[in-house]
Structure 1
């Protein structure tokens, strides 16, 4: 070749989740870094997948997702948020929430558009915006509670603002947006042409109050792509089944992108989840299930030198290690994995420009035995 390929993402390497999980494997560490459970899903759900595979549901699904699943999503959305969806035109099943996020960004962001991104943020947002020619406008979520800074967010809006991304419950911080936050946001965007991408993949993992979906606020819903995940809800992250909902005009543009990303999502998985959703208790019990996990982990962590405030949502817990070390969080996380045998994620990597706050993110979606073993090691610091 006569030329060297110019990278579209020159500042992007292997994700921190891959790096830390790789280190955990190499050093035999307990992996509290990547966000996945180490316990199984409901056997009944797995049996449903097998049933549909045996029935021959193994070919391409319709591009937007099978209708029975879209109908169950519509029923669930109306029951939880009072928002009535048209399953035919306003719901698309995707191969994971990350695909849905990318499709939503690609559908609306053009060269030179600005996208407001509260930071820290999930790591796919910024590369997706850059790949589609957009400019990131970061707005810091101030420690220690990481709630929306309304003044800073309002000041970030310009004539070039195309979209705003929000994430509630929030990864990596566990912060949750309140009804007052959403009402304020609804008023802020009311007289603009700004789109909202609302990442709600942890909608069922919230520990006080109720989840304030953008779909509960009509003037937000009319401009929103709302992204959700069955993988998070049903402990099957490896299935990569998510979905997006949006008003029909927005969904038409979303599907134009989706059909050339994955076209469709695994057929037997869709049929199984559609059947499983007929029992709302299968997802309504999830908040209590994970609150028990959070409370267990936090009680154990009281015996360590880490400082923390219990997470408001998600299955992540931030912890401040400044009483233990003044190392950069990336260095401390690596040392923790190699020497103590517990893998975590340094929070600085969730910023476009790394910011040091001496915080680590722990995943507590683990068995009690895993959590006990991990904290026993952490208590030695």
Structure 2
């Protein structure tokens, strides 16, 4: 008899990702995919051509250095200084990773021990839950609640225990589109400093902010030495399949993350590293145009969802809009999303899979607006048949 596969008990419930499942369902049914967050257009020509040139050069197709190529590390350091006023040493305070996903995984694995508490906000991006479990740590959550997805600072302080080692922060926030305000970040920083926490911050949507201001928490007083700042080129340059990310932190934190990272992928995407370096040095007009275009798409889909009768919580950043399906007579987001592709030819994601407190998210659904305008228009037309 064949031996049945064994899945570590800490990973039960993480065998697959709802985003991939909904994308597969969209393919099977021919539905418009507003579930998984990837654009349906390519990134800037300069960046694409730089990748092609690197491949054809014959010098970029083998293993890059373990910490990433110098051109990209220096470009990341320039980027942090140019946009956020952060001084970063490209040789000791930057680590190139296989996307932000690996950066997050390596950081959590490196900086926690079995039994440590890791604090994050819910809804939380699904990778956080899986990696915290892989590390043998314990997830603790503070709930962000609509319509503004604010949080109670007292609840945050109360959630910290003597075992809390790490706080994972995502701003701009997936799935809600929330951009944490300076006052909110200061409240988080105060807790981190007082309770001696390391903050791992996921900032992949840093340039896709429409309202408010993106503020890296590492720039706040007392935070530079205790923050691991993570981002990537995938969202900024609409090349999500390239998986080129980075970590910026003090040398001792980067060394710890690198220790875990080298046993995950070791290195990745040599030619793409060259291309993302080119992208990070593009003029301000590119970054502004990218945000302006996505703002227009947000407004288009938001208005369309409202026209169907859905209650919409308009995001301040990211690729995503959350809607409350109770306003059109539904209360189970999972059932709603599984039936939607067959019913009207649109795929979305149920937010409840990103909650520990399931009653908080049972009725919420996430739609991606990083699609072409005509695709969004057709999706809206189909969605209007729900009512």
Q: Which TM-score bucket, shorter chain as reference?
A: over 0.9
C-alpha deviation, 1:131, in angstroms: 1.0
Change in 2 beyond 3 A, CA 1:201/1:77: same
Instruction: Select which of 47, 50, 53 maps to 1:48.
Output: 50
- In 1, distance between residues paired with 2:129 and 2:215? 24
Task: Please show how residues 1-381 of structure 1 align to structure 2 within 5 Å.
Answer: 5=6, 7-8=8-9, 9-56=11-58, 57-281=60-284, 282-355=286-359, 356-381=361-386
Using the TM superposition, name which of 236-245 and 296-305 deviates more. Answer: 296-305
Q: CA deviation at 1:19?
A: 1.3
Q: 1:6 to 1:22 in 2, by over 3 A?
A: closer
SS in 2 for 1:139: strand
Q: Distance in 1 between matches of 2:331 and 2:197?
A: 40
1:353 Cα deviation after fit: 5.0
- Quick one: distance in 2 between partners of 1:58 and 1:292? 38
- Gap runs ≥5 in structure 1: none
CA contact (8 A) 1:126 1:352 kept: no
8 Å contact from structure 1 (residues 142, 149) kept in 2: no
Counterpart CA distance in 2 for 1:20 and 1:354 is: 19
Equivalent pair of 2:237/2:279 in contact (CA under 8 Å): no
- CA shift, 1:83, in A, is 1.1
SS at match of 1:138: strand
Distance 2:219 2:211 in 1: 17
- State the TM-score, normalized to the length of structure 1: 0.96
SS in structure 2 at match of 1:261: coil
Distance 1:354 1:13, change over 3 A: farther
CA contact (8 A) 1:116 1:161 kept: yes
Post-superposition CA distance 1:82-106 (Å, at most 9, x none): 1100100111111111110000001
Moved over 4 A (4+): 1-4
- Residues 42 and 151 of structure 1: is their aligned pair in 2 closer, same or farther, counting only changes over 3 Å? same
Native 8 Å contact 2:331 2:362 kept in 1: no
Cα displacement string for residues 86-143 of structure 1 (whole angstroms, at most 9, x for unaligned residues): 1001111111111100000011110110111211100011111111110111221122
CA distance in structure 1 between the aligned counterparts of 2:297 and 2:41, rounded to whole angstroms: 12
Q: Residues 210-259 of structure 1: CA distance to partner in whole angstroms, max 9, x if unpaired?
A: 21111221412210111101001000001111111111111110001111
How far the C-alpha of 1:150 sits from its partner, in A, is 1.1
SS at match of 1:189: helix
Q: Give the Cα–Cα distance (whole angstroms) in 2 for the partners of residues 284 and 214 of structure 1.
A: 22
Gap change, CA 1:231 and 1:3, over 3 Å in 2: closer
Q: Is the 8 A contact 1:147 1:176 kept in 2?
A: no
Judged with a 3 Å threshold, the aligned counterparts in structure 2 of structure 1 residues 27 and 151 are, in CA distance, closer, same or farther, namely same
Q: Deviations over 1:126-185 (max 9, x none)?
A: 111111110111221122322232111110011111011111110001111001111222
CA-atom RMSD in angstroms: 1.6
